Amino acid sequence: MHLLIYILFFPILWVISILPFRIFYLFSDLVYILVYYIIGYRKKVVYDNLKLVFPDKPEKELLAIRKKFYKHMCDMFLEMIKTMSMSEKEMRKRFQITNIDYVQELEKRKNIMVMASHYASWEWGIILQKDIKATAFGVYKKLKNPYFDKLVRDIRAKYNSVLINTKETIPTVLGNHRNGVKALYGFVSDQSPKLGKSNHWVDFMNINVPAYTGAEMLSKKCDLAVCYFKIEKLKRGYYKATYVPLAENPKDFSNFEITDLFLKEVEKQLYEAPEYYLWTHKRWKHRGQNPNQQVKTA
């Protein structure tokens, strides 16, 4: 069944990927109408999240943000498909890294941990591998369909970066450290961990929730310089990325301080342009469940 689904859908994905950008984004507009107005995919989840973190915004503004988010989400998903046939020249034109020289200088001294968020579009960030000597390792969640899983891996490894699933992460990072492999790691670390596996709670958008700490833990253990991959959407189909230094010497920071610094950077972007965050995830589902303190729920 997995193979049959793949055989049926792959030709469609390929055709989408080779569409000229003008037609490509017209197609995205049609997908938006389908997802938002007809299917109504997670519209309540998105609205509830927005209402939770922006309690003072009027309903009209929240609904406007929600519409903008769905338009962006459809663009973002299709842009990943576009990567299949997109040239390096076109990708560089549309995804500019403003301070790649910072990473190039930093990798001469240390391996690097790049903490990213589900904001704007992280898919075209794979172009980074073309500008550094270290091998870029990207952590991703394995798909159930093995054929689509391989497709995603191939897309994201287009420029010879290495995809590792969540179960492979710790042994890969520790193994590279022991063997002296020059590496840069990309962790998307802003979503909600399982309640029983969290050992740190933080006020994210003024709501107390558990946070992933794996990137910080591995950075301290392997002495990785840590930075935030700040991605901004300039206009439709164009992005700008900046590496924001967080901790060049992570062992000098107290426990969880780096994680908190990272989430503060994410917060700034959510306040500036909330429509580009991935609101379909239930990021705040564990609010009020911190076993170590009495939390006022929103």
Q: Which of 216, 198, 197 is nearest to 115 (CA)?
A: 216
pLDDT for res 293: 74
The DSSP output letter for 38 is I
Backbone angles phi, psi at 231, to 5 degrees: -110, 130
pLDDT for res 291: 85
pLDDT for res 298: 42
Grade residue 295 by pLDDT with cuts at 50, 70 and 90. Answer: very low
Between 290 and 172, residue with greater pLDDT = 172
Q: Does residue 294 have a pLDDT over 70?
A: no
What average pLDDT does this structure show over 162-170? 92
Indicate the domain borders of the chain. Answer: 2-276
Where do the H-state alpha helices sit in the chain? 2-17, 21-32, 43-53, 59-82, 88-94, 100-106, 146-156, 169-179, 214-222, 257-272
pLDDT in tens, 250-284: 999 999 999 999 999 999 999 999 999 999 999 99
CB 54 within 8 A of CB 62: yes
pLDDT for res 112: 98
Q: Does residue 50 have a pLDDT over 70?
A: yes
Q: pTM to 2 decimals?
A: 0.92
pLDDT for res 2: 84
In angstroms, the Cα distances linking 87 to 82, 90, 122 are: 10, 5, 17
C-alpha to C-alpha distance for 188 and 212, rounded to whole angstroms: 10
pLDDT for res 253: 98
In one-letter notation, the amino acid at residue 115 is M
Q: Which of 212, 216, 207 is nearest to 194 (CA)?
A: 212
